[in-house]
Amino acid sequence: MPLRISNQNARRLWLHSQALLTEPTGAFSQDDLLATIKGLGFVQLDTIRVVARAHDHILWSRNQNYREPMLGKALADHAHVFEHFTHDASVIPTEFYPYWQRQFQRMGKATSTGSWGTALPPKRERDRILKRVEDEGPLCSRDFPGAPKRKATWSRPPHKVVLDHFWYAGVLATSHRKGFTKFYDLAERVIPDEHRDFPHSDKAQINWLCTEALDRLGFGSEGTIQRFWEAANLAEVKSWTAVNKTLIPVEVETADGGYETAFAPANIEARLAELPSPSSRLRIVNPFDPVVRDRPRLAKLFGFDYRIEIFVPAAKRAFGYYVYPLLEGDRFVGRIEVVADRRAGKLLVKNLWGEPGVRASKTRTKKLDAELARLGRLVGAKEVEWNCPRPA
């Protein structure tokens, strides 16, 4: 009979695997930053900065001593991470680079066909753009003629389509960023030589992707494993589970009391036995945090129905433009809409919602006050201003 994992243990194992179960305290060096990204597998990048950009917020959630310049240094000064595409644009530990070759091939092919292929200019123009990067070193989109002063949503001039195609294909890499502007250079000049030896077969890369995903998930269905990196397709993941004799079949209790079948790594029983008790801390979690990114997994484990509504017309939003989940211990207790006015040095709380059955209390409000103060320190906001009723 498959090993059964209670819902409480499933929630705690997932949070612990993603470094959100216990207190995020202590010093935080560049080495600690790299260890954190390795533990997560990757960190999603996003341009939106309502309070802090997603990647900075995600890393800060793992240790409150993280500060915004640290990730840029890891990329530009130390080459500890590289940028590429998982389910979205992300930073990935550079030591994973040899296992990312199939993703370069997949994405290179995807961006040379279909609508992407139609948008690509002729080969002569593509070669000319690549030659400029080769001769001049790191360049951004604005360094090419025809760059619009104000970019319309989703629109890209031809040179940007070319730069991104070569970036997806692994020919170019992100050398650094200024603000959030990406600078492209030849991958061979960005990625250290020791990570540019590619001895791994396609089969070995799939094995690595699936193994590493399941290790970070703690348990998961084939679909969940596939969605972690999105660097293999579902058929490839199913082929992997079919031949991998070390996997442990488990039944995971869902938030509604049902059970779902899944796979777990061989050390699952030891991991469950060693689970620490959760911190009572209340956390403001970023909408792109890996713990909430897989919405079906989030709903099944926590009974928390969450959507980000940045693309929903204002009149049709259930909550707000950019609303943060609130995690207390091992369950989600609410959501908050908060924005940073960096110039005024303030965090502005616009709305607060509790989940059904979650009671407002003095203790919970004090925890939220403490988290808002911590978040304020990340962005240089010394004051919290409530623009909605503060729970008493």
* Structure confidence by residue, pLDDT tens digits, 173-215: 999 999 889 999 999 999 999 998 888 999 999 999 999 999 9
What mean pLDDT value characterizes the chain? 94
pLDDT value for 319: 95
pTM passes above 0.75: yes
Counting residues of the chain whose pLDDT is more than 90, the rounded percentage is 91
Using CA atoms, how far apart are residues 197 and 203, in angstroms rounded to an integer? Answer: 17
Higher pLDDT, 357 or 153: 357
| Residue 176 near residue 183, CB atoms below 8 Å | yes
pLDDT tier at 153, thresholds 50, 70, 90 = very low
What are the φ/ψ torsions at residue 252 (nearest 5 degrees)? Answer: -105, 125
Instruction: Order across the sheet with 89-93: list the strands.
Output: 43-44, 89-93, 81-85
C-alpha dist (Å) from residue 69 to 74, 76, 329, 339: 9, 11, 29, 20
Using CA atoms, how far apart are residues 386 and 348, in angstroms rounded to an integer? Answer: 6
Average pLDDT for 247-275: 98
pLDDT value for 246: 96
| Residue 309 near residue 321, CB atoms below 8 Å | yes
User: Is the predicted pLDDT of residue 244 greater than 80, yes or no?
Assistant: yes
Q: What are the b/e assignments for 337-359, b being 16+ CB within 10 Å?
A: bbbbeeeeebbbbbebbebeeee
User: Is the predicted pLDDT of residue 108 greater than 90, yes or no?
Assistant: yes
Per-residue pLDDT reduced to its tens digit, 352-384: 999 999 988 999 999 999 999 999 999 999 999
Using CA atoms, how far apart are residues 349 and 385, in angstroms rounded to an integer? Answer: 6
Per-residue pLDDT reduced to its tens digit, 290-344: 999 999 999 999 999 999 999 999 999 999 999 999 999 999 999 999 999 999 9
SS3 70: helix
Average pLDDT for 41-46: 97
User: Is the predicted pLDDT of residue 152 greater than 50, yes or no?
Assistant: no
- For the chain, first and last CA: distance in Å? 49
Q: Which long-range contacts (CB under 8 A, 24 or more apart) does 220-229 make?
A: 220/262, 220/263, 220/297, 221/260, 221/261, 221/262, 221/263, 222/263, 224/262, 224/294, 224/297, 225/263, 227/87, 227/294, 228/41, 228/86, 228/294, 229/41, 229/42, 229/86, 229/87, 229/103
Per-residue pLDDT reduced to its tens digit, 113-134: 998 889 999 999 999 999 999 9
- 32's CB contacts (< 8 A; 6+ apart) are 63
Tell me which H or E stretch contains 81: strand 81-85
Alpha helices (H) in 41-120, listed in sequence order: 54-62, 69-76, 101-110, 114-119
C-alpha dist (Å) from residue 57 to 39, 48, 93, 96, 214: 16, 11, 18, 23, 24
What are the φ/ψ torsions at residue 62 (nearest 5 degrees)? Answer: -85, -25
Token couple for 193: 């030589």
Tell me which H or E stretch contains 223: helix 222-229
| Residue 78 near residue 91, CB atoms below 8 Å | no
Higher pLDDT, 392 or 33: 33
User: Is the predicted pLDDT of residue 31 greater than 90, yes or no?
Assistant: yes
